[in-house]
Structure 1
Amino acid sequence: MYIPAIYKNENREDIISFLQKNSFGILINQNDGNILATHIPLELEIKENGEQFLEGHISKENPQWQTFENDNRILAIFSGPHTYISSSWYDHENVPTWNYIAVHVYGKVKILNFEETILSLKKLVDKYEVNSKNPIRIEDLSEKTMRQAKGIIAFRIEITSIEAVKKVSQNRDEKNHQNIISELEKTKDYNACQIAQEMAKNKK
């Protein structure tokens, strides 16, 4: 990913937090010159020794998993808030731009066995059911319902490198930076307000 130095994010804790909060990504690989992509949750796991990996699953009917053995290299793309920045908000003439946050994760994929698949599903469900009034637990589902797990392919991605970009008007002086934040907040748009918050945090 092309990242100008001023926008490169190398803060490990910030990147981990981003991946945990924005875990719905795009799984991309190639096979015989064809580019394949699937939109799925990809959960970041961190072992006690600091090793990081992603876990996810796709339908057995999705042919993408069948290409993993041919080439186990994977790219996972995660997008965060993004918004248009009007140059009318500056105190000088310039061109409009776009502020955004994104992370690219590169790694090697390995298919999990059935027991590992169930454990992966349990972690996924537990994470997203935590705020439910009546949370569902994998352990409580019937054998009949759990047969559906045989219809998926779960996998783990050993992370080899991460590229992170956070473009939040770092190239603007204090006056114009504050003007942009103010104008974004006025829009009441979710993405715009999220970028405004990131801009304010980034200046601290």
Structure 2
Amino acid sequence: MYIPPVYKNTNAEQVRTFIRENAFGILISAEKEGAAPLATHLPLELEKESGPELYLYGHFARANPHWKNLKEGQEVLCIFNGPHSYVSSSWYQDEEVPTWNYISVQVRGVYQQLDEEALLASLHRMVDKYEKGSAEPVSLHDMSEKTMRQIRGIVGFRIRITQIEAAYKLSQGREADHPRIVEELNKRGSNSRAIARAMGKKNLD
């Protein structure tokens, strides 16, 4: 994606944390040259295995035709969106047009379908991750054979990551206006307040 250098976040650990905390992404692929791309919204879990490579793990509903149009080794694109907010130029000291602040990460990688064993392992990791904060956490280990048969209705995959690009557009270049921008953002909704918090963080590089 196009990212002006001033908005590019090259802090690898910060970007990985962002992906893990905003794991509900969009997987996009081209069915064939000249055809409209296919896109599916789904959780994509970032994992590092024994080697240096990073992977995204996920699964499709078997009824979703998207997976049938994906080939082993095909390049795909995944998009992870974070908070975003309109920024009024009335918050600036000098006249300027309004803009939009946002955080977005795009990941390119190679698609690989999982066998049943690898799919089940990925589901255990995902459920355990999100159940940690529950008052009465559930575990796939405790579910009946009948319930677990529902796994037949999904198709697992992983994506070997080849490129990560992160755009953190947070009013860079207007540092003198940051106090007013943050003040006004904090008067608005949750997305705007999240952008205000992000603007207050340092060490993006």
TM range (shorter): over 0.9
Q: Distance in 1 between matches of 2:29 and 2:74?
A: 8
8 Å Cα contact 1:25-1:42 kept in structure 2: yes
Normalized against structure 1, the TM-score is what? 0.95
8 Å Cα contact 2:72-2:113 kept in structure 1: no
Structure-2 change in CA distance of 1:203 and 1:116 (3 Å): closer
Q: Report the secondary structure of 2:2's partner residue.
A: coil
Q: Which residue of 2 aligns with 1:185?
A: 186
Structure-2 change in CA distance of 1:109 and 1:101 (3 Å): same
Q: Which residue of 1 aligns with 2:89?
A: 87
8 Å Cα contact 1:30-1:71 kept in structure 2: no
After TM superposition, the runs of 4+ consecutive aligned structure 1 residues lying more than 3 A away are: none
Q: Report the secondary structure of 2:192's partner residue.
A: helix
Cα deviation 1:90-141 (Å, max 9, x = unaligned)? 1111000000000000000100000111101101100111111111111111
Q: Distance in 2 between matches of 1:143 and 1:153?
A: 18
Q: Report the secondary structure of 1:202's partner residue.
A: coil
Report how many aligned residue pairs link the two structures: 202
Q: Which residue of 1 aligns with 2:39?
A: 37
Normalized against structure 2, the TM-score is what? 0.95
CA-CA distance at 1:163 after TM superposition = 0.7
Q: Distance in 1 between matches of 2:19 and 2:37?
A: 23
Q: Distance in 1 between matches of 2:38 and 2:133?
A: 34
Q: Distance in 1 between matches of 2:201 and 2:118?
A: 39
The aligned runs of 1:109-148 (5 Å cut-off) are 109-148=111-150
Unaligned stretches of 5+ residues in structure 1: none
Letter in 2 for 1:9: N
Unaligned stretches of 5+ residues in structure 2: none
Q: Which residue of 2 aligns with 1:28?
A: 28
8 Å Cα contact 1:31-1:71 kept in structure 2: no
Letter in 2 for 1:72: Q
Letter in 1 for 2:182: I
Q: Report the secondary structure of 2:167's partner residue.
A: strand
Root-mean-square deviation (CA, aligned residues, Å) is 1.4
8 Å Cα contact 1:59-1:151 kept in structure 2: yes
